[in-house]
Amino acid sequence: MRKCNRCLGLYPLEHFPVAVTTPKKVHRKAFCKTCDSADRKKVHRLKKEATSCKIHCELCGCTGKMHFDHDPKKGEFRGWLCVNCNQGLGKFFDDTELLRRAIAYLDGNL
């Protein structure tokens, strides 16, 4: 049994979609199939409503392939980001306080 990070329901492991399979283990997503499906539908709708894809990252300004960025908590489109900026925000869990601490660390103020 495993707890879904979104709806907090307790389900058998098979109720969680496979994220990655390695030779030693099958890694499953943190959300149950129902929540995962609802999230995918929401993102698909947001992509349709979003402004056309930009050629410059709205955060760092680099050019190249842009990725759709959205706020999963609010369900809102935020902009088009390069892979590095998009993954960077994700690694900080979209937490503004954690990002402020990271900036203070880089500035040598921690």
Say whether both 28 and 4 belong to one domain.
Answer: yes
Task: Work out whether strand 67-71 and strand 76-81 pair parallel, antiparallel, or are unpaired.
Answer: antiparallel
Q: Which residue range is the domain that position 97 belongs to?
A: 52-110
> What does the pLDDT look like over 42-101, one tens digit per residue?
888 888 887 777 789 999 999 988 998 988 778 788 989 999 999 999 899 889 999 999
Q: Which residues is 82 bridged to in the sheet?
A: none
Q: Is the pTM of this model over 0.75?
A: no
Q: How many domains does the chain have?
A: 2
Say whether both 58 and 99 belong to one domain.
Answer: yes
Contacts of 18 (CB under 8 A, 6+ apart): 26, 27, 28, 29
Taking alpha carbons only, the member of 67, 90, 77 closest to residue 45 is 77
